[in-house]
Structure 1
């Protein structure tokens, strides 16, 4: 399998955002599969209907609206490579970068029916779902205080990649500082710690978490008498038992990083996971589910 690199490069995105609508060859977040040929278009700001399911009774895609900087790419596939091989390369690279899946499907009976493969194109213009072995995934990647929705569809002849960059994470991410965390603790006894990012469906902290960990270290160093519960939260996707376990493991990973990398006394920290049981927003939309996936600290 030929590796595809997913790179986080915000500086390049800022330069692109200065342009309104244009034809482009690619996007910094995704490197096309080796041997693919194509490009696409970029809109500085546009509406987008992301496909998050398929209604087999109505024979149409289920969508949720979002808005932001929209990049639409299409790459023709090398003839000798299968849909599955190409899609798995993209998916592996995305997962390693911290991709949080919203929905995925594979082939007729999962993505669409054999006679309704045009439903994806009709819903939002994504063109690669065109054969019985087509694959699709939509999810999110966080980077530098922003949130990108990434949709990848691989079909018989090529791969569609839609990237929608939003400002959904801006407010919280700007506040990643020891002073902001201390202010939240003093006011409410608990505070959300934005910027802690994990690999998809995993408790592995990503390198982008360093700024948030630095802030936690400063907070705990400046307040040597402060002891904390570190509490993991998830959305409602999956079983309750699984989400409780995942949220607990993610909280424990944060503590392990603070103890092993910063020398914080482990006795000052306690890991807890409450899964989806304390949501901040509705789990009926992806915006709400994204908000609910978080880590908080609580004064002990």
Structure 2
């Protein structure tokens, strides 16, 4: 892996950078995985740990720009990723507001109360992440920056959130060399052709699986980043499950949440159960399923269906399953 670039190492070629006010430099292998911008809006910036059931935040108004990067990071710890980026911000005149690591931040609760871009664009290991927030006065108003750093088995992940006056130009990507080479600016978001939504397909034979005592995976569920709440949308698997339950009041089902192996089992157990409960509430509130017919629990990372050594395997392991818990009248 190439070393992390710093302001003092600007002579290194092909070191991508993004503007905060001046560019921040990243590893040469870094690729942008997600980018999101909002005009003037309200934003809650974390400036303290999650404690006593709440995240300590500072309400801010300004334009919000978020970007996530991924790059090879074998043998590189989260502090080694954070340190040069933090120093670059300090060199630009930013002063620290808050800094923490994993459990010191509040662990699971801090991660899921914070504004984090969705997996797999921004991966957060619940047992190994760092957060840094800073501010700087500016002619057009204060500027705030928050960095969230984590890693997977082989890759480093960085999310940067900037809140403040709108940036003067969108061509933030540059190359840090003695003779800077300007890269082609990103296509404006409003110029990108909309991507067609995936067709909503009929679910597999869920009733047959439930009748035979097999668990059925509820594929296609969407949970917003940083939340255990099921996103609004069409869920044919849940409709099929709701139809099956309403067809016979004697039928009962258990929803079981599962996670990948990132972070501690205690944190993953809470998350898996919270997401299963969110699915349960959707069935009750949206499909009018009798609350007594469906229950929720979590298994954390104890029952993987694929290897946790790959991104695809971890994606498959993050799921909610359903199994019939009543043997009365379970025929399809």
TM-score scaled by length of structure 2: 0.44
Q: Which of the pair has the greater relative contact order for Cα pairs under 8 Å at 6+ separation?
A: 2
TM-score scaled by length of structure 1: 0.48
Whose Rg is larger?
A: 2
